[in-house]
């Protein structure tokens, strides 16, 4: 490799270093949030019920013995109203037949319920901290705060973070491999 090629290679390396440094400065705080919340989310089912309560066991796994979904929904809505002193809208109903339960989550609330499918008894009423962490992790907390129902911020945020991580991976590799390549070429 001649001197001009080495200088050109070193120039490209400086550009990658600058790009890496500038983008790191801009995205640093977001990566800290994403890494921290991602770690907690990975442990949510192993948090001893702090982030997410363990699934309870109902009285029957036989769906024929269960109350109707309409009845279970009414039980959940009544419990929500008693807890929050307002009407709630159900976001999700997760049926867990092997445990004999149905889990309810509500729109614009972190309240979660686990209800025995056969008896209709509320087995767990919890604050789903994992849902909050997930919203911070993917940026949808901003959409929630500003009541943007189309998820605009989430899409922009996750796209920016994905492209940023890809950029860091490429420029980081180049910053590691580039000097080695220059040394190797200079030795030959």
Q: Spell out the domain ranges in the chain.
A: 1-51+128-188, 53-127
Of 36 and 9, the structure prediction assigns the larger pLDDT to 36
Residue 172: the pLDDT is: 82
Report pLDDT for 168: 84
Is 80 exceeded by the pLDDT of residue 29? yes
| Angular region, 57: left φ>0, alpha ψ -120 to 50, beta rest | beta
CB 25 within 8 A of CB 183: no
pLDDT digits (tens, 9 = 90+) for 160-186: 999 988 988 888 887 788 778 777 777
Across the range 6-10, mean pLDDT stands at 79
Question: What one-character-per-residue DSSP string does 52-105 give?
Answer: SPPP---S---GGGSPPHHHHHHHHHHHHHHHHSS---EEEEEEEGGGTEEEEE
pLDDT, one tens digit per residue, over 68-95 is 999 999 999 999 999 988 899 999 999 9
User: Model's pTM, two decimal places?
Assistant: 0.78
Q: Which secondary-structure segment (H or E) carries 23?
A: helix 3-42
């Amino acid at each position: 490799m001649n001197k001009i090629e080495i200088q050109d290679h070193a120039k490209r390396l400086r550009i990658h270093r600058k790009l890496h440094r500038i983008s790191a400065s801009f995205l640093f705080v977001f990566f800290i949030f994403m890494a921290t919340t991602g770690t907690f989310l990975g442990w949510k089912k192993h948090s001893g019920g702090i982030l997410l309560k363990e699934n309870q066991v109902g009285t029957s796994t036989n769906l024929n013995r269960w109350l109707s979904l309409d009845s279970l929904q009414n039980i959940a809505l009544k419990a929500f109203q008693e807890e929050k002193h307002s009407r709630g809208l159900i976001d999700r109903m997760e049926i867990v037949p092997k445990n004999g339960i149905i889990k309810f989550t509500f729109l614009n609330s972190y309240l979660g319920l686990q209800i025995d499918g056969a008896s209709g008894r509320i087995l767990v009423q919890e604050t789903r901290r994992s849902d909050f962490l997930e919203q911070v992790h993917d940026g949808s907390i901003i959409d929630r705060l500003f009541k943007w129902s189309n998820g605009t911020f989430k899409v922009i945020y996750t796209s920016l973070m994905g492209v940023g991580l890809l950029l860091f991976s490429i420029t980081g590799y180049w910053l590691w491999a580039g000097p080695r390549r220059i040394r190797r070429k200079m030795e030959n």
